[in-house]
């Protein structure tokens, strides 16, 4: 019995011919049925595994298709980005060139402005000096007019009778200002000519003698 149970436990493919001949028909049939059932269950299990593998394979194929679509879209976006980078690089070069030109223009404009500013400052300094000279000259003329007016008034007061000619130089002497009067300013040859002809004003030491001499020659 022990040998029979060992024979039944072993597979038919592993049993020798002697072992098979030693078994009875019932044992061989039961062994064969059991082997067939095991093979059928193995085939069924194999079919299930194949179905599962096929299902997983279909899922992987679907993922591959989706990845191909995504890859195609990414390649198109990559190409668009490359084109955009080329366009932006061209714009960058244009902007760099334009900035360099503007920088050169700014340096040139600053140089010209510095030169013009130096000229304007020099002209302004000259104008200020001229203005100071004119202000000083105007003050001197005002003082001279006041002195001449005082001398004319004193002579008109000291002269007997006070003729009409004595009042003319004084009236003219009062017409002193910024030089815009139509009657002439004090110190002009016409005014000196009137003063000398009238004989109303003495020589003023602060007044240039050349003007008196010129006015005297004109009167002669």
| Average pLDDT for the chain | 75
Q: What tokens does 145 get? A: 């007019």
Question: What DSSP string describes 170-183?
Answer: HHHHH--SSS--TT
pLDDT digits (tens, 9 = 90+) for 116-129: 988 899 999 999 99
* Residue pair 192/173 in contact by the 8 Å Cβ criterion: no
Residue 53 CB neighbour total at 10 angstroms: 10
* Residue pair 169/201 in contact by the 8 Å Cβ criterion: yes
Distances (CA, A) of 31 to 18, 41, 45: 16, 15, 21
Instruction: For residues 34 and 32, give the distance between their C-alpha atoms in angstroms, rounded to a whole number.
Output: 5
Residue bearing tokens 């004989």: 199
pLDDT digits (tens, 9 = 90+) for 14-39: 666 666 666 677 776 777 788 888 88
* Structural Rg of the chain based on CA atoms: 66
CA proximity to 152, closest of 99, 192, 101: 192
Distances (CA, A) of 50 to 43, 57, 59, 79: 10, 10, 14, 42
* Residue pair 23/31 in contact by the 8 Å Cβ criterion: yes
Confidence of residue 72 (pLDDT cuts 50, 70, 90): very high
Alpha carbon 77 to chain centroid, angstroms? 34
Question: What is the reported pTM?
Answer: 0.36
């Amino acid at each position: 019995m022990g040998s029979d149970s060992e024979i039944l436990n072993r597979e038919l493919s592993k049993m020798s011919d002697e072992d098979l001949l030693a078994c009875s028909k019932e044992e061989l049939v039961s062994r064969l049925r059991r082997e067939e059932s095991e093979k059928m269950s193995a085939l069924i299990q194999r079919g299930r595994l194949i179905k599962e593998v096929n299902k997983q394979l279909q899922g992987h194929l679907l993922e591959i298709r989706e990845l191909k679509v995504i890859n195609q879209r990414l390649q198109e976006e990559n190409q668009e980005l490359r084109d955009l980078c080329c366009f932006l690089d061209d714009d960058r070069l244009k902007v760099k060139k334009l900035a360099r030109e503007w920088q050169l223009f700014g340096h040139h404009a600053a140089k010209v402005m510095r030169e013009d500013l130096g000229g304007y400052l020099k002209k302004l300094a000259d104008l200020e000096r001229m203005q100071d000279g004119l202000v000083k000259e105007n003050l001197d003329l005002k003082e001279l007019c006041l002195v001449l007016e005082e001398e004319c008034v004193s002579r008109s007061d000291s002269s007997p009778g006070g003729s009409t000619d004595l009042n003319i130089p004084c009236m003219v002497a009062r017409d002193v200002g910024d030089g815009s009067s139509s009657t002439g300013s004090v110190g002009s040859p016409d005014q000196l000519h009137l003063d000398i002809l009238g004989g109303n004003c003495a020589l003023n030491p602060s007044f240039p003698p050349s003007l008196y001499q010129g006015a005297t020659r004109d009167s002669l």
